[in-house]
Structure 1
């Protein structure tokens, strides 16, 4: 995608990715969501994601001719994007506003919003296709914070890097950067900066994740 040098195609790629995934098994749907999270960090802007979902919703009626449960599946993809921090809840309103009048996709957005704001939404949506980390986002953030606290209190850089990798949430590494910086300012020492540098050197955290974390 980077080599194409055509960012205007990003929304079309998203539409194609999700459309193909909706017609596949749960494993492929899960993989598509994980890929979308990674693309958002590395390549896609939030605007790309919003416009991609608008394209999907505009063609939802046609998609439903081939995929019987298209509306429900698309609502899950939207909700999952919010839970994965690919979209903010307010972006759902933005998407709805961009849809033509009387578009059936508006109901799909409403369904996604209901999923996001339902009780225990995070964990249920992360598990919606039988995959995901099995954690709610807040739980993941808590685990990151505890990991960093343990390192700050005398842990070894290499061990901390391994623990970050073992979290199994590479698309969430910007949160590691953000929390490490907060802790560095609170503790007024360079240990967290050393950890971030090592994570970058060994390839755990990318340049874009660093930028997003800052």
Structure 2
């Protein structure tokens, strides 16, 4: 019988499969196919099968169940069947597969909220203090804090600047004063000195400033006097200024070695300080009969004389003058004319050079060249022409007057020669001769000489000449 059943199954495989499908599908709703499979394994058409035929049929049923599971999983990936350990089909739900890479790059909220924006509007996160422009209220002290200390509740914390030592004083203050000579802003100096803890070294500021001004120009001395007047009050006290001048009077023997005119200059500083009311009027009188140094005595005498002259109308507030480009142009022209007239009388080129340097206007030296040439055109003798040419050559060789300034001075004369000729009829002829001599002396180049204007010759015809032209007239 077993042999006949096996032969029948082999001859009719489709019907066997349909049979198995009907049994399995009928019991799927009841939780699977184990009962139907057991019935089929034991009996087919009322005939009990042997163990070998049961194993063959069981294998076929398992293969059919696997094929049906693969079809269901492909149609519905979210809901599919799974196999148990023994190969039985088990229906259930499974999550959709996701790749780990997509989880790392996904910036969307896991809760389904938000639009992927940063947390707390950018105010959160590690190392973030909050939104920009957010103002925090003063933090209140927690009395229950274990680190709370009642003694520190009313403490005031301030930045402490150590006092400036004497060895570092000159190294720190000297650049400040030298920079002030360039910009002339006393407020900036006061701010820089206010940041330093000068302490007992406050009186050293006027001493250092005056010492540097003695070796500088007259304009720098004027700036120093203004600086002392502006610092007295915000930074310095009157006692500091008095101590500074006392020290200067004691150091005069050493200052004279570098600056021979130091006693007179220190006396002028004292007189200006008294006029600016940063020194008391009794300061000079306090030294009467108590001065042994001749240099200190000369300085105090100079200050006393200037104060007496101020009562007669002398302006001590303009004692050092106004240096450089701060002077009016008319005043500079007047001083240059006086310088040229003094040179014509003395003939001292070095003194003229020193006076020209003291004007401190190297950008305006073309005016000096212009005034010198006009003086030659207005002169009546050859002496003035020779002396002016000698002076210009000396200043050109010593590089006091640059080539550019010399050229601009000559070009200005060329432009104004027509107006000068109205007052000086022979101006064209004299200018042409002076330009030729300047080129021979090496003061100007050939190109500048060729630019010299010359007036065309005029031809005069008289009635008695018979129409002939006078060639030698001009």
1:90 to 257, 266, 282: 282
How many residue pairs are counted as aligned between the two chains?
131
Q: Distance in 2 between matches of 1:92 and 1:122?
A: 20
Query: What does residue 113 of structure 1 align with?
Result: 304
Is this contact kept in 1: 2:207–2:247, CA < 8 A? yes
Q: Distance in 1 between matches of 2:229 and 2:239?
A: 14
**Secondary structure of the structure 2 residue equivalent to 1:108:** helix
Q: Distance in 2 between matches of 1:24 and 1:68?
A: 13
Q: Distance in 2 between matches of 1:3 and 1:18?
A: 22
Deviation of 1:73 after TM superposition, in Å, equals: 0.6
Deviation string 1:115-167 (CA, Å, 9 cap, x unpaired) is: 112244674321221139xxxxxxxxxxxxxxxxxxxxxxxxxxxxxxxxxxx
**Secondary structure of the structure 2 residue equivalent to 1:64:** helix
Is this contact kept in 2: 1:37–1:84, CA < 8 A? yes
Q: Does 2:34 align with 1:34?
A: no
Query: What does residue 217 of structure 2 align with?
Result: 25
Q: Distance in 2 between matches of 1:104 and 1:78?
A: 14
Query: What does residue 129 of structure 1 align with?
Result: 320
Deviation of 1:100 after TM superposition, in Å, equals: 6.3
Query: What does residue 236 of structure 2 align with?
Result: 44
Q: Distance in 2 between matches of 1:121 and 1:14?
A: 29
Q: Distance in 2 between matches of 1:60 and 1:77?
A: 13
Q: Does 2:270 align with 1:78?
A: yes
Query: What does residue 69 of structure 1 align with?
Result: 261
Is this contact kept in 2: 1:11–1:55, CA < 8 A? no
Deviation of 1:78 after TM superposition, in Å, equals: 0.4
Deviation of 1:68 after TM superposition, in Å, equals: 1.5
Q: Does 2:225 align with 1:53?
A: no
Is this contact kept in 2: 1:15–1:52, CA < 8 A? yes
Deviation of 1:4 after TM superposition, in Å, equals: 2.1
Q: Distance in 2 between matches of 1:38 and 1:122?
A: 24
Gapped regions of structure 2 (runs ≥ 5)? 1-192, 324-474
Is this contact kept in 1: 2:264–2:298, CA < 8 A? no
What's the TM-score, normalizing by structure 1? 0.55
Is this contact kept in 2: 1:79–1:115, CA < 8 A? yes
Deviation of 1:26 after TM superposition, in Å, equals: 1.0
**Secondary structure of the structure 2 residue equivalent to 1:29:** helix
Q: Assess, with a 3 A threshold, how the Cα gap between structure 1 residues 126 and 7 changes in structure 2: closer, same or farther.
A: same
Q: Assess, with a 3 A threshold, how the Cα gap between structure 1 residues 27 and 105 changes in structure 2: closer, same or farther.
A: same
Gapped regions of structure 1 (runs ≥ 5)? 133-214
Deviation of 1:101 after TM superposition, in Å, equals: 4.0
Q: Which moved more, 1:22-31 or 1:102-111?
A: 102-111
CA RMSD of aligned residues (A): 2.4
Deviation of 1:13 after TM superposition, in Å, equals: 1.5
**Secondary structure of the structure 1 residue equivalent to 2:194:** coil
The structure that has the greater radius of gyration is: 2
Deviation of 1:106 after TM superposition, in Å, equals: 2.9
Q: Assess, with a 3 A threshold, how the Cα gap between structure 1 residues 18 and 83 changes in structure 2: closer, same or farther.
A: same
Higher relative contact order (CA 8 A, sep 6+): 1
Query: What does residue 202 of structure 1 align with?
Result: none
What's the TM-score, normalizing by structure 2? 0.26
Query: What does residue 2 of structure 1 align with?
Result: 194
